[in-house]
Amino acid sequence: MARIAGGLGTSHVPMIGRTLAAGKQAEVPFAPFFEAYAPVHDWLGERKPDVAIVFYNDHGLSFALDNMPTFAVGAATEYRNADEGWGPPEPRSFRGATELSWHLIQSLVADEFDVSVCREMLFDHAGITALDLLYPGHDVPVAVIPIVINGVQPPLPTPLRCYKFGQAIGRAIKSFAQDANVLVIGSGGLSHELGEFGKINEPFDRMTMERIVSDPEALTRYTNDEIVDLAGAQGLELMTWIAMRGAVAGQVDVISSVYQNPISHTGGAMMLIEPR
Amino acid sequence: MSKVEAGKFNLGAALKGYELNKMCHTLNRAENRAAFAADEAGYCARFGLNAEETEAVVSRNKPMLFELGGNMYFLAKLDRVKKAGAV
């Protein structure tokens, strides 16, 4: 039987990936962000998840406006990175988990979430940075299922819808008959707006992190536009954390948590939770 | 047209920005960035951008690009193109 080992919310701003690639985690002003990953690495060593389901928002790589899904689920045997405009990256390949993917898709559609099914999908820095934070050094031992939530072109799914989507994924994981030890990741946020460095809202971010643990439903009462006003346009990436928390249902314990203001132009954050 | 606020639905922006964002999306690829850098206005013309859109792109006028329906996730690709000799 499949089970949910835990849930991780994390920032993915490109400066994090560049710092990891340069091996300068201890030298940057936001070093405490990386330090908070030490208990996460210990936890991964103990719990040994074998699949990572990654909620993130595509950054204009795999999807453009010709066809913009609200929710898209990967069902590929592998996922590759690609040039996002910074120059061709070192080619990377991430192993898929197709049987679990199709089980999720079938369950979600039966549960009235009519998702887009992606047999091919480019995997962008939002997903890859999260995996590199978990497994520094590029040796990613887990199979991956990318799940994209439209955070790009409004109208975007509401916090409540994203929470319910996460809950549906949580139910689907638990009904998968094969063995799988699943880590659910929400990669995004927290408060920021590209090009607007003043849009970090630390009190809102800290409140959000507290509610993710103790009262996630309180976050589902915000409208998208309220989140934009409070946390900036890209603060909507919070949806990835809300979906993650929907999947990791019930009471949780916090294994590690950090808020770092700023990382680049964002309210930087990480939190690992485990079902109680 | 009402003022566009990034992250919020705006009908005017939704109706307008398609070609502009489509052009920006192509700048994910190195060969397209090189073609764009070699002739920015000409590259815009290939995607059917009008004079106002082309001017906004060439001048990198962000408020104007937003008003024309530019989406930050795609405009970011434009930001990543170096002005000359781009790779």
Mean pLDDT, rounded, for A89-102: 97
pLDDT of B60 above 60: yes
H or E element that contains A146:
strand A143-149
How many domains, in total, are found in chain B? 1
Please give the C-alpha separations between residue B1 and each of A150, A164, A188, in angstroms, as whole numbers: 25, 35, 31
Closest chain A CA to residue B16: A65
A119-146 per-position pLDDT tens digit: 999 999 999 999 999 999 878 999 999 9
- Contact at CB, B76 and A60, closer than 8 angstroms: yes
Q: Is the confidence at residue B84, as pLDDT, over 70?
A: no
CA distances from A250 to A51, A171, A239 (A): 21, 12, 18
Domain total for chain A? Answer: 1
pLDDT value at residue B85: 43
Greater model confidence, A109 or A195: A109
Whether A251 is covered by a domain: the verdict is yes
SS3 A253: strand
The yes-or-no verdict on residue B37 having pLDDT over 60 is: yes
Q: Would A194 be classed as within a structural domain?
A: no
Residue A188 lies in a domain: no
CB–CB contacts below 8 A, A to B: 79
Residue B40 has pLDDT above 90, yes or no: yes
| ipTM at complex level | 0.92
Residue A36's nearest CA partner among A201, A275, A260 is: A260
Q: What is the domain-level CATH number for residue B56?
A: 1.10.700.10
Q: Which residues of A have a catalytic role annotated?
A: 125, 192
Contacts of B27 in chain A (CB under 8 A): 85
* Mean of pLDDT values over B8-13: 92
Q: Give me the domain span that covers residue B54.
A: 11-80
Q: What are phi and psi of A60, to 5 degrees?
A: 65, 35
Q: Is residue B87 part of a domain?
A: no
> Does the structure show a pLDDT above 90 at A62?
yes
User: What would the mean pLDDT of B17-44 be, rounded to a whole number?
Assistant: 96
Q: How confident is the model at residue B87 (pLDDT cuts 50, 70, 90)?
A: very low
The closest alpha carbon to A33, from A15, A56, A50, A21, belongs to: A15
What separation in angstroms does the CA of A212 have from each of A41, A67, A151, A224? 21, 31, 19, 17
DSSP state of A233: G
Distance from CA of A56 to the nearest CA of B (A): 14
Interchain CB distance below 8 Å, B71 and A228: no
CB atoms within 10 A of CB A87: 11
Question: What is the tens place of the pLDDT at every residue in A18-39?
Answer: 999 999 999 999 999 999 999 9
Query: Is A266 inside any structural domain?
Result: no
CA distance A32 to chain B (A): 28
Cβ of A60 within 8 Å of Cβ of B77? The answer is yes
Domain that holds residue A223: 2-183+203-257
pLDDT tens profile A164-212: 999 999 999 999 999 999 999 999 999 999 877 789 999 999 999 999 9
Whichever domain contains A98, its CATH number is 3.40.830.10
Residue B50 lies in a domain: yes
Residue B33 resides in a domain: yes
Q: What is the C-alpha to C-alpha distance for residues A132 and A16, in angstroms, rounded to an integer?
A: 10
Over residues A82-110, mean pLDDT: 97
Instruction: Label residue B29 by pLDDT band (50, 70, 90).
Output: very high
Interface test with B, best of A12, A59, A65, A196 (most B CBs within 10 A): A65
Confidence check: pLDDT of B86 > 50? no
pTM for this model (two decimals) = 0.96
Gyration radius of chain A over CA positions: 17
pLDDT given for residue A139 in this prediction: 86
The verdict on residue B6 lying in a domain is no
| Share of residues in chain A with pLDDT > 90 (%) | 96
Q: Is residue B48 part of a domain?
A: yes
- Has residue A198 been placed in a domain? no
Query: In sequence order, what are the residues at sequence separation of 6 or more whose Cβ sits closer than 8 angstroms to the Cβ of residue A160?
Result: A220, A221
Check CB contact under 8 Å for B17 and A65: yes
In a domain, B4, yes or no: no
Say whether the peptide bond before residue A155 is cis (omega within 30 degrees of 0). yes
